[in-house]
């Protein structure tokens, strides 16, 4: 049995949490393979909304095993907050449904302090970090000095923690940055004690054993989006991990030949949080209208998201990088009230039209738009493809033709039931 991969194709916030929740009944195992608490995967059902940052979005299904994989950087303090909320709000005992990879790296309190200090030092060049310590944690991973989840059970864990903390404190002397570790460390140690209650696994072996079992179906859940990939995104305004399909292999310890379906999620328009290039960004009433109707505020940061029209050039780039086999379009309902809807089909750079994602995405770049007539009706009550308006289907058909990939799922609202699954 192969591993299906579900990932975002834009700048994150595409709606991965809801879609994983919808798809989970078809799987036995859901695993996160990269990122950390900088992710915010929102789920809505039974008139309740919940946001997951570290925990895989299959946690609400009792029969499913959830795994935080090797490629994740785990913040014990935030982990505890999430686990406690699942218990208090939903009565979920996560210890029975969630396993942690021993080789996942730990975020420690000084990672967050370093994140804040380095972002402040950038001044106007800030990249829009979530300040969760993600970048510094991945830096330590590459620098071969990180703490890992499996270290918690070692006799010298405290010694290893103090050694890494002292390295960070020495580095922080270079910055004019005020901080207090007292509360951060208190919450961190409480999180460490909670982690000890969970099953810690050699995730690469466990996942490959599941692959060998015909009865096991595995879905790998990506975080952030392909255009934030550390290698292929809009660098340097990117995250610190590999957000594309290749990251699923390194983040779980599986061979590329074990990848099955690649499910790519995109919004019917585009959004971005923080700094960085955004070719189709809108600064007019249409942009504000998208933000208001779509409730476009970061689930992790609370920051207003920048909004713009669909960027087909960027979408085709992400489809290529990931080898996407099927597309999932979310937030189609947000476009219900628009008379005219646009899609960027090319860019103009110095008067020359190009149809590919260029190296210098920050340069003077003008999107070339194709216009569509809006459908001007409420689609949030639609659950069957035949009930969707013709103008929406024309919009969908155009994207399918241009990308060469079928759109299999259309989300028409935030609730798990507001979903159209196409044959």
Spatial separation of the C-alpha atoms in residues 78 and 74, rounded to whole Å: 8
List all residues 6 or more positions away from 231 whose beta carbon is below 8 Å from its beta carbon. 242
Spatial separation of the C-alpha atoms in residues 60 and 396, rounded to whole Å: 31
Helix (H) or strand (E) run with residue 116 in it? helix 109-121
Spatial separation of the C-alpha atoms in residues 354 and 344, rounded to whole Å: 11
Which pair of tokens denotes residue 12? 């994150």
Spatial separation of the C-alpha atoms in residues 133 and 75, rounded to whole Å: 9
Among residues 13, 21, 75, 333, the one annotated as catalytic is 13
292: exposed, middle or buried (C-beta count within 10 Å: 0-12, 13-18, 19+)?
exposed
Quick count: other Cβ atoms within 10 Å of Cβ 345?
18
Quick count: other Cβ atoms within 10 Å of Cβ 249?
20
Does the active-site annotation cover 417? Answer: no
Spatial separation of the C-alpha atoms in residues 6 and 20, rounded to whole Å: 8
Among residues 41, 99, 111, 168, the one annotated as catalytic is 41
Does the active-site annotation cover 284? Answer: no
Q: Which residues are catalytic?
A: 13, 41
């Amino acid at each position: 049995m192969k591993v299906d991969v579900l990932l975002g194709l834009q700048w994150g916030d595409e709606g991965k949490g809801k879609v994983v929740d919808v798809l989970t009944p078809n799987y036995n195992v859901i695993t996160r393979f990269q990122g950390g608490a900088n992710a915010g995967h929102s789920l809505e059902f039974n008139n309740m909304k919940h946001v997951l940052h570290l925990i895989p979005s299959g946690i609400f299904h009792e029969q499913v095993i959830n795994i935080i994989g090797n490629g994740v950087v785990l913040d014990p303090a935030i982990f505890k907050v999430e686990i406690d909320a699942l218990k208090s709000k939903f009565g979920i005992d996560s210890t029975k449904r969630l396993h942690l990879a021993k080789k996942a790296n730990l975020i420690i309190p000084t990672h967050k302090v370093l994140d804040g200090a380095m972002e402040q030092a950038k001044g106007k060049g800030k990249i829009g970090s979530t300040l969760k310590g993600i970048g510094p944690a991945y830096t330590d991973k590459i620098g071969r000095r990180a703490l890992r989840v499996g270290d918690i059970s070692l006799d010298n864990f405290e010694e290893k923690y103090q050694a890494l903390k002292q390295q960070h404190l020495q580095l922080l002397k270079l910055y004019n940055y005020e901080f207090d570790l007292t509360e951060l460390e208190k919450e961190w140690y409480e999180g460490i004690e909670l982690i000890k209650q969970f099953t810690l696994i050699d995730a690469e072996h466990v996942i490959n054993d599941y692959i060998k079992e015909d009865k096991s179906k595995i879905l790998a859940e990506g975080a952030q989006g392909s255009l934030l990939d550390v290698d292929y995104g809009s660098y340097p305004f990117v995250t610190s991990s590999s957000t594309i399909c290749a990251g699923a292999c390194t983040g779980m310890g599986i061979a590329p030949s074990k990848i099955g379906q690649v499910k790519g999620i995109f919004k019917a328009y585009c959004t971005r949080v923080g700094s960085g290039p955004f070719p189709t960004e809108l600064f007019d009433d249409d942009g504000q209208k998208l933000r208001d109707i779509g409730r476009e505020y970061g689930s992790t940061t609370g920051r207003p998201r920048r909004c713009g029209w669909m960027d087909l050039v960027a979408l085709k780039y992400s489809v290529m990088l990931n080898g996407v086999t099927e597309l999932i379009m979310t937030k189609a309902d947000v476009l219900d009230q628009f008379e005219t809807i646009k899609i960027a089909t090319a860019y103009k750079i110095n008067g020359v039209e190009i149809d590919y994602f260029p190296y210098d995405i920050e340069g003077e770049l003008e999107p070339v738009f194709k216009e569509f007539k809006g459908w001007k009706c409420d689609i949030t009550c639609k659950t069957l493809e035949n009930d969707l308006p013709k103008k929406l289907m024309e919009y969908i058909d155009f994207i399918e033709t241009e990308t060469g990939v079928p759109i299999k799922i259309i989300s028409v609202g935030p609730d798990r039931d507001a979903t159209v699954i196409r044959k």
